[in-house]
Amino acid sequence: MKTLIRSAKIICKSSEFNGQTKDIFIENGNISQIADFVDIEVDDVIEGEDICVSVGWFDMRVHAKEPGHEYKESLESMEQTALAGGFSEIALLPNTQPVVQTRESVNYLKRSGEKVKFHPMAAVTLKCEGKDFTEMIDLHQAGAVAFTDGEHPIQNPDIFLKSLQYLTQFGGLLINHPEDTHLTHFGQMHDGTVSTFLGMKGMPQMAEEIMVMRDLKILEYVMQTPFSQGLGENSVLHFSCISSAQTINFIRMGKEMGLPISCDVAAHQLCFTENDLVDFDTNLKVNPPFRTQEDLEALWEGLADGTIDVIVSDHNPQDEESKKLEFDMAEFGVIGLETVFSSINTFNKVLSLEEIIEKITDNPRNILRLKNPNIKEGEKANLTIFSPNQTWVCTEKNIVSKSRNSPFIGKTLKGKVIRVIA
């Protein structure tokens, strides 16, 4: 198979062609030639006005629904959804039924992707219940790229401490969603003026901030013990789906102290606030909840100054029976794989295009200790071709996912994925 990408601007800081507009000739899955003009007969030509090409995008937080809830999203439909969103690789949370906690389940997910590479993350505790540990060394050797209880924050500080101590023995990464669930129990949205006005129980920022403070203090303790020897510069602890301005300040201070930490934000968190929930649209019911305008601006600032390392989709498909209910009965979660770049590109006012791409390509791979692809002759093709200026309307009909719980339905977005070649 011979493919030619015609006149595309290369966005890849590690490439010698970064920022240049070139033709890229791909033959049998390899980048054969990069030049100002390639004159050769090919099977397929990809071209368009103002198109760009980067290394294949990487989503670091996807809720796999298979096995257990295939009616919401199968592995096959998730792969097609990822391709539609521009992603050549995705990391999968372990909260399936059964939970990803055995060597067999890790291998099953690794083998399942045909056009998209699946990177399984394994559970820290059995059934993600926060009680007994999984065989993390065995899971690491099987190919788990990180360890997390995913949707379930690690509440027990002793479990959290011992997890860090255990993982540092082989350079593993612990990912935690910071939330004290005792403070968010029965919560529906951000705890503030709007929740009071709507009569819904709130989920306070404090629940996130307390957990971040706790986790940082425990990590600081671990780093002062022999357990931390030989860790290098890799992140040891990753905070996933942060939403609070004060959380960003804590993480910023932690980085300034030299703690090996990183964090991500979900793309949809950068597009909405608590005020958008006044119509009780269950497609806007997410955890963490959409917060205040001040928090939203702080998230963008954190992205701009590098405090926030990665943008994720937090893709969480829910079927109609889980969403078309009274607000307090509906499940949390939105689909996001197809709209990560478009939503960020539409609402962005502070990041360059190169900075956006870095947060969905290089940074997640670096945090997960994975090799970064490159755009150069002789490399295997792992590319995303996209148009940053093309607009499109998100509708239920053009959603690829099995589920339709998108907060962007009916909205015009700027930035369109053209093709993934991997």
Dihedral-angle region of residue 261 (phi above 0 means left; psi in -120 to 50 means alpha; beta otherwise): beta
Asked about 305 being catalytic, the answer comes back as: no
What burial class does residue 330 get, using C-beta atoms within 10 Å of its C-beta: 0-12 exposed, 13-18 middle, 19+ buried?
Answer: buried
Among 59, 215, 295, 314, the active-site one is: 314
Q: Which residues, 6+ apart, have CB-to-CB distance to 370 below 8 Å?
A: 58, 89, 119, 145
Query: 197-234: b or e for each residue (b if 16 or more CB lie within 10 Å)?
Result: eeebebbbbebbbbbbebbbebbeebbeeebbeeeeee
Supply the residues annotated as catalytic. 314
